[in-house]
Structure 1
Amino acid sequence: MPFDITRVRAAYPALAEGFAHFDGAGGTQVAAGVADAVAETMRGAVANRSTAYPPGRRAIELVAAARHAVADLLGAVPEGVVLGASATALTYTVARTLSRDWRAGDEVVLSRLDHDANVRPWVQAAEATGAVVRWAEFDPETGELPAAQYAGLVGPRTRLVAVTAGSNAIGTAPDLPAIAAAAHAAGALVYVDGVHATPHGPTDVAALGADFYVTSAYKWSGPHLAAVVADPARWEGLRPAKLLPSPDSVPDRFEAGTPSFPLLAGVRAAVDHLAGLDPAATGDRRARLLAGLAAARAYELDLFDRLLAGLAARPGLTVYGAAARRCPTVSFRVDGQPPARTAALLGQQGVCVSSGDYYAYEYFQRMGLRDSGGAVRASLYHYNTAEEVDRLLAALDRITAPVA
């Protein structure tokens, strides 16, 4: 059945304010059920985790429910879901923990296409241990990250390959199974940044070949919390720095401090929201998530084609990236106009876009764009409409029209 955009948009109260949101890569608007779940949890009696009384047991249930929800979203198991404040914080935790076993001369392979949250923690861990950083390069014309290069990058000393599932700058979705196969053939682990990719289609961490996969709920209609998933047996072999009295079990020992129980309720609600995107879907929550996110991806890519065609038809614009498989995200520049100025002028018309490097530091450095302001980013989400795409294009026409 057709994607019911009217029904979908009705689930987002913030859209009533009238802005056209093309900033989903920086964080989506929150679904009503998420806000309700957070508020309801904050109004109720919740204590720290304890089996001694109902408010403490509620806290235990909230953590378990969030783990189950993330596991259903990603095709993981609840016992392998580590929850945390942000993808950056979680990646630092994993990097510090994994690198305890690295030695001088070991190697890590990173990508210049990645968000810095999947670059700098590994660079710094390598510096601290004497490991060598090797770089996978993207094609500056297409934005593709060729998987074939990994055969020459990994070797017997490679300990880890870190790579994005979807570029937050230009949308490129690399061939992760091929990259993971090369890494695993050399005995290396694969850490996948799924922050930008997760909102834009079904995810199966095993099919991707990810040993670790990190995602952020605020990129898929939820609150500002994140999760990194791995096989529980993988977590069992790792010993993070932790407080002595804190739990030593997996996955708890990787979660420092007391979590935000209301926000965990929001994580579960966000996954339930995504599972309801296709009202005709049946089966368990995982099955409904696969159907709903597949429908949302098809809808988003149709909109993205409309946006790309509109940008290409406008003179005076430079568009970056043209990968064959992409998340619905594009970066561009208006000739002769600083990206921050473009974003501000569009913002005055109620069109929300990002500007700068969006933490895709290596990409913009390699493209020679970072020092001059990066680019403007338009990122679609399943609540955007064709009318909003046309609104963005018309707004661009107004700010690029010659002065009479």
Structure 2
Amino acid sequence: MDSLITAAAQALAAGDLLGALKRVALRDDPPALALRGIVMAQLGDFDRAKALLKSAARAFGPREAVASARCIVAEAEIALVSRDLGWPQKELDRAWATLEAHGDAVNAAHARNLAARRLLLVGRPDAAERLLSGLDPSLLPPPSRAAYELTVAGAALRRLKTGEAGAAFGRAAEAARRAGIPALMAEVENAAEVLGMPAGRIIADGEERLVILEEVERLFGSQVLVVDACRNVVRDGRETVSLASRPVLFALARALAEAWPVDVSRDVLLTRTFRARHADETHRARLRVEIARLRTQLRKVARITATKRGFGLAPRHAGKVAVLAPLADEAHAAILAFLADGEAWSSSALAIALGTSPRTVQRALEQLAAGGKVRSFGGGRARRWTVPSVPGFPTTLLLPGPLPSG
């Protein structure tokens, strides 16, 4: 490797992007193409970066398998940052295997961390944690160590392990400080702020208050029957009942929980659940049917009793009832939660992350755009969606993936 390439690589490692680019801007040999691609990615020109890295990987060819694999890993990172979740994961797996086979432990660990970050985005924190458990973080240089610890923190947050997340954020901050890269230090600091920010609302005993993630974690570990409006589940310390596919039943459960310990009149239930302004006997018959179904679903955690004016909720094991709600009730809160990370998403990537159809996501985005809550740029497959600002939408509680079941 010649002196200019070495100097450019050192400048890149130190966060001096323009210094690195200045040294290789006029060269088109494979190492220079790869370095330029990485610089362009960090400057935000992802399309140009991907083109340069593809050219570099082809130019390196099979005779320089390690260098080619490093280009593929860099391309995978660009795909992740640009939320191209359709990028072929198998290419990263092959590059990862090549790097391990040739003893490049540092870049192999980086590839493993990228794969774990993608698993987090698609709501698979268990698989991400298993992947990270096979990685030795001591092999990583400070910038990569900071990225690794951010992934560990993200996995812990998805499982509401705030203590583990806080420790990982602390290690990430130390690694970023040792790296001496201001942008990385700022990224870690911003990511760690989620622990102290309001994450949702607790509605109990006729009162409502904002809570941070640590309080949500304590709530789930307590002897309280929680109607979780972030995941549409009902849980106590023993059982978890999902009503995610039964929106009418969940709406009834939430209405009963918000009123606990008193009952809810039939007219209120009809208005909240069926939007019936003038209820007739047909509506009342349907209410009886849905209440019976809800009784069946919640039989292990609560009883639903009929009263003179309506229905009431009585927990079987818990001593109290509470509703955990998002900061703001929004029909498409999960999509806004993803967009709140500040990255530009395609509708297909959102569909992959949410586990739903692209058409469903597209309809939701169009409704949000009509209300001025999201905006798009580009056209066709290059169309991307962002949010001007989404105050009140906590990412962690609204993203897919398992939360503690007690």
TM-score by length of 2: 0.30
**Structure with a larger share of its residues in helix:** 2
Higher-RCO chain (CA-CA 8 Å, sequence separation at least 6): 1
Q: TM-score normalized by structure 1?
A: 0.31
Structure with larger Rg: 2
